[in-house]
């Protein structure tokens, strides 16, 4: 079966969120085009990397097109939460960015992660066409959601479980 290529051009809303307890959360990107929606699974680190990449990308766009208004990062917490049904199209293997200067839209490209046993299959792709402000707000919200996870051990930098943490830098002593 040929791979699906879906263009949400433009999105009316895009967000990222996580469902589940810290340490067991599943992260998603969800976009709407009027009543139609697409949800994909992403990793926490993909959201964090995307947020950093988007800020750098938007800075490059601002330098190339200084006449453009600055992209806002404002968002409403309630509107940024994921909306049911959460029926993911696929798990994301790769995220990319592009820019259409004629329409002042950024495209977030998500490619499916293909399991090893299906390595001959081409990945499905979704292109989310967003305003610069929609994408910046989604990434700022994503960083906030990612930060709500397990606390990080100040000694070893690993996440700490609610029931305690055996830190290798403290010879396994629990904190």
Q: Would you say residue 155 lies in a domain?
A: no
**Per-residue pLDDT at 91:** 96
Residue 11 lies in a domain: yes
Does residue 160 belong to any structural domain of this protein? no
Q: Which pLDDT score, from 0 to 100, does residue 118 have?
A: 87
**57 is a domain residue:** yes
Nearest 5°: the CA angle 134, 137, 138 is 85
Pairing of strands 5-8, 125-130: parallel
> Does some domain include residue 163?
no
For 51-99, write each residue's pLDDT tens digit: 999 999 999 999 999 999 999 989 888 889 988 888 999 999 999 999 9
| pLDDT score recorded for residue 170 | 67
**pLDDT for 173:** 53
Per the domain annotation, does 130 fall within a domain?
A: yes
As for how many domains the chain has, the answer is 1
pLDDT band of residue 105 (cuts 50, 70, 90) is very high
Residue 108 within a domain: yes
Residue 162 lies in a domain: no
Closest CA to 168 of 160, 156, 159, 157: 156
Compute the half-sphere exposure of residue 107: CA atoms within 13 Å on the CB side of its CA: 16
Specify the CATH number for the domain of residue 65.
3.30.2450
Range of the domain at 10: 5-150
CA–CA distance from 150 to each of 21, 53, 146 (Å)?
9, 24, 9
Q: What is the 3-state secondary structure (H, E, C) of the chain?
A: CCCCEEEECCCCEEEEEEECCCCCCEEEEEEEECCEEEEEEECHHHHHHHHHHHHHHHHHHHHHCCCCCCCCCCCCHHHHCCCCCCCCCCEEEEEEEEEECCCCEEEEEEEECCCHHHCCCCCCEEEEEECHHHHHHHHHHHHHHHHCCCCECCCCCCECECCECECHHHCCCEC
Task: Answer for the pair 40, 91: CB distance below 8 angstroms, yes or no.
Answer: yes
């Amino acid at each position: 079966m040929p791979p699906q290529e879906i263009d949400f051009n433009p999105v009316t809303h895009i967000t990222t969120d996580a469902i589940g307890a810290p340490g067991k959360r599943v992260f998603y990107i969800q976009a709407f085009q009027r009543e139609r929606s697409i949800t994909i699974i992403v990793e926490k680190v993909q959201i964090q990397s995307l947020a950093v990449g988007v800020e750098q990308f938007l800075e490059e766009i601002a330098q190339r097109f200084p006449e453009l208004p600055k992209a806002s990062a404002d968002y409403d917490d309630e509107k940024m939460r994921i909306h049911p049904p959460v029926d993911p199209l696929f798990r994301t293997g790769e995220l990319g960015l592009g820019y259409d200067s004629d329409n002042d839209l950024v495209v977030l490209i998500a490619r499916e992660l293909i399991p090893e046993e299906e390595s001959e299959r081409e990945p499905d792709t979704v292109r989310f066409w967003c305003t610069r402000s929609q994408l910046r707000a989604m990434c700022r919200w994503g960083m906030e959601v990612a930060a709500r996870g397990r606390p990080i051990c100040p000694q070893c930098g690993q996440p700490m479980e609610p029931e305690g943490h055996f830190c290798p830098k403290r010879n396994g002593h629990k904190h």
